[in-house]
Each structure stands twice: as C-alpha cells, then as structure tokens.
Amino acid sequence: MKNTLIILAQSLEQPRIVKRINQKAREYKSIHVYGFTRNVHSVDNHEVLNKNKNVTITIAGQLENGKYLKRIFTYLKLLAKIYKTYGFIKKNVYVFGLDLRIFSFFLFNADVDYEISDIVWLYDGKHKRRFFSFIDRFLAAKSRKVVFTTKSFYTGYYSKSVKEAQVIVAENKLETYDRVHPIAQIKNDKVRIAYIGAFRYPKIIENLLTAVSDNPKLTLNFYGATHGRLIEKINQATESNSNIFYHGSFKNPDDLEEIYKENNLNFVVYDNLLENEQVAMPNKFYESGFFNIPIVCATETYVGERVLSKKMGWTIDTDFESISNFLNTISVSELVENHKNIKKLDKSQFIT
C-alpha cells in the first residue's frame, strides 16, 4: 500500500468525486482531501467517507459559480496551506478538473494524476477555447496519469498530446455502497418521466415542460437542484400543472432506488450541438442500467449509441416537436419491454 495521497476536489457534494476518494482510500495508507463547498445545495454526499479512518477532509473554502477571480485568492490560500504542511518534499497529488490542475502546476515536486470528466473549454468561444485547450493538453501531458470518464474524450481530443500509457478510463459507474438494489418491476399505469440531476439545458427543459403540460396522461418528476430563471420556470410549471412535480435535491445513492421506483422513463436528452455532450457518458446511463429503467437520450451522442446497442431505450432530437411526438406516442408496454431487456444485462457493467 502506498503512503500518502493529497486530493484536491472542487466539490465534496459530487458523487463521482466521493466515489473516487473512496477508491483511493484502498490504495493509500493516508488520504488528505482538500475540498470546497459550493454555493448550491448540500445533502452531505461525502458522509460515506467517514468510514475510512485513513481519510482526512479539510474544507479549503467555498467556490461560487462564475466568480473566478475570487477563486484565485481561495486557491492561493490553499497553496500556502499545502506548502506549510508538506513543504517541498515529494508529493502524490490527485486533482479533479482543469482549474485545480492549473493550481497543482504550482506544487513543487508533485506527481499529479488528473481526472477529466468534462472538457470545459469545449463550451468556450474560439479564442478562449484555443488558449485553454492548449493549457489543458499541456498539463495533461505533464501528468503522471490522466483519468478519463469515457474513452471518447481521449480518442477525440487528447490522443495527440497524452501517451496511451498515461491513460486510465474510469467510467462514471454507480457506486451503490450496498444501499440500493435493482428494481424488479416498474410502474405500468402510465408514462412516468424522471429528470434527475443537474438542470443544464434550459431550452430542452422548456420543451419537455411544454410537451408534458399539453398531455395530462403523462407525469413528469424533477429531482435535483439549480437556481436562476430555470428553477423559476420549473416551479411555475408545477404550480400550473397537476402532472409536473419538483422534488428538490436528493442524496446519492441513498435516494436513487426510491426515485427510480416512481418512474419508468429516464429523460437524458442533453444538448447534442455541444461537443462535450456528444462524447460524454453521463452517470444516468449507469443508473438506468442498474435500476432497470428505460432511458431516452439525444441523437448523435455517444451515450445514445450505447443505449441503442444495448436495447435500453431510444434516441430523439432535442426540438419540441421531437420530444412531444416521442412522449405522446411511447406506450407503457414499450417501456415494460425495454425494462425486461435491461433486466437481462450484466449489472457489473453499470456499477463499480
């Protein structure tokens, strides 16, 4: 077993980050986590780490969305704290995300493992994208290991700068902690749609809200948290429609089984015009596979291809007409049939 690992994590509320810390706790005698809180909901997802006596968590500050200048000062304080604690001795460091990989570049005598779950510069404009893509690929190449949550990130954007020997593919599979189990039989009274997790695509969600509000035979359940105008629209829709519900934030994985039990269709239609979404593998794929819930994804996406190849569900376009037509024509019997197909799949491919 290796000695000490320093982990730098943007959010201790992120289940993927908590899962990775848990995994690393089996490899190292001592794990020192420097994590940040966010100015969003908190459901204490990281409490599962308390069972690891070799994991020490230090809250390094709060990161606010969009306030990147303020983040710099927060990171500088953390840099001083790390040097004060560890000095210039050899360090093993594991970081999540580009901003913390940039930060880790200033840690002297550090071997850095870098996890990439989103390619953030794909969302930027031409000049900003060119700058940050150069920085990202440079830092990835300088890393000891680069952990991708989908192989398509590596083959599509990093294969020319990162050696294959440096690459680890760690898909964002579900960590059950033995707290949840597959669902043996789904509800078959009507089409029950679940939108679970981050609410990131306003136009698609607006199309979904309109389509469901036009058809009282459908039910739509939102689980998760967001802020701003989008949550206002969701709240307005719940107030004016008896078949649309917003349930707020949830704990992962503890609440997932009950969430999926109440629904029979997982709506994972993300913006397929965005390059990151075209190649990403969202954790909802693995959750649907484990809980035996049919899934609908956007066309022209890697996750959509996986869904179709395993006969787990469907792909549709993101415009209102496509969403509305699909939801108005899908039958409960089709959902049940796909549920039966998913039940036959080996669950080991969906869980860690």
DSSP symbols for 108-122: TTEEEEEEESS-GGG
Q: For the chain, list the strands marked E by DSSP.
A: 2-9, 28-38, 55-63, 91-96, 110-116, 145-148, 167-169, 192-196, 219-223, 244-246, 265-268, 295-298, 313-316
Query: Does the structure show a pLDDT above 80 at 211?
Result: yes
* Residue 44 in tokens: 């204490």
Query: Does the structure show a pLDDT above 70 at 42?
Result: no
Instruction: Decide: 293 and 339 in contact? Cβ < 8 Å.
Output: yes
| Residue ranges per structural domain of the chain | 2-169, 192-349
Q: What is the mean pLDDT of residues 109-119?
A: 96
**pLDDT at 68 (0 to 100):** 65
- Phi, psi of 234, rounded to the nearest 5 degrees: -65, -45
Query: Does the structure show a pLDDT above 70 at 44?
Result: no
Q: Determine the Cα–Cα distance for residues 333 and 216; give it in Å rounded to an integer.
A: 19
Which CATH number is associated with domain 2-169? Answer: 3.40.50.2000
Q: Determine the Cα–Cα distance for residues 196 and 201; give it in Å rounded to an integer.
A: 13
Among 227-231, 270-274, 327-331, which stretch is predicted with the lowest mean pLDDT?
227-231
Q: What is the mean pLDDT of residues 36-57?
A: 74
Q: Determine the Cα–Cα distance for residues 182 and 346; give it in Å rounded to an integer.
A: 12
* Residue 172 in tokens: 């964002």
Half-sphere exposure of 110 (CA within 13 A, CB side): 25
pLDDT tens digits, one per residue of 125-172: 999 999 999 999 999 999 999 999 999 999 999 999 999 999 999 999
Helices (H) and strands (E) in the chain, counts: 13, 13
Q: How confident is the model at residue 46 (pLDDT cuts 50, 70, 90)?
A: low
- Phi, psi of 208, rounded to the nearest 5 degrees: -65, -45
Query: Does the structure show a pLDDT above 80 at 48?
Result: no
Residue 243 CA: distances (Å) to CA of 192, 193, 196, 217, 276: 10, 10, 16, 8, 32
Q: Determine the Cα–Cα distance for residues 19 and 5; give it in Å rounded to an integer.
A: 15
Instruction: Decide: 296 and 270 in contact? Cβ < 8 Å.
Output: no
Q: Determine the Cα–Cα distance for residues 107 and 87; give it in Å rounded to an integer.
A: 10
Tracing tokens 């570049």 back to the chain, one arrives at 105
Q: What is the mean pLDDT of residues 10-14?
A: 84
pLDDT tens digits, one per residue of 229-249: 889 999 999 999 999 999 999
CATH superfamily, region 192-349: Glycogen Phosphorylase B; (3.40.50.2000)
**pLDDT at 41 (0 to 100):** 53
**DSSP letter (8 states) at residue 350:** T
Query: Does the structure show a pLDDT above 90 at 73?
Result: no
- Phi, psi of 32, rounded to the nearest 5 degrees: -110, 110
* Residue 347 in tokens: 């669950």
Instruction: Decide: 349 and 200 in contact? Cβ < 8 Å.
Output: no
Per cent of the chain over pLDDT 90 is 84
**pLDDT at 218 (0 to 100):** 98
Hey, do 2-169 and 192-349 end up sharing a CATH topology, with the first three levels equal?
Answer: yes
Residue 221 CA: distances (Å) to CA of 235, 245, 247: 12, 5, 7
- Amino acid type, 96: F
**pLDDT at 139 (0 to 100):** 98
Q: How confident is the model at residue 345 (pLDDT cuts 50, 70, 90)?
A: very high
Instruction: Decide: 209 and 220 in contact? Cβ < 8 Å.
Output: yes
**Nearest 5 degrees, angle CA 123-CA 126-CA 131?**
85
Question: Would you tell me the crossing angle of helices 202-213 and 229-240 to the nearest 10 degrees?
Answer: 0
Query: Does the structure show a pLDDT above 90 at 8?
Result: yes
* Residue 264 in tokens: 């029979």
> Which run of H or of E encompasses 312?
none
Q: Determine the Cα–Cα distance for residues 279 and 119; give it in Å rounded to an integer.
A: 10
Query: Does the structure show a pLDDT above 70 at 278?
Result: yes
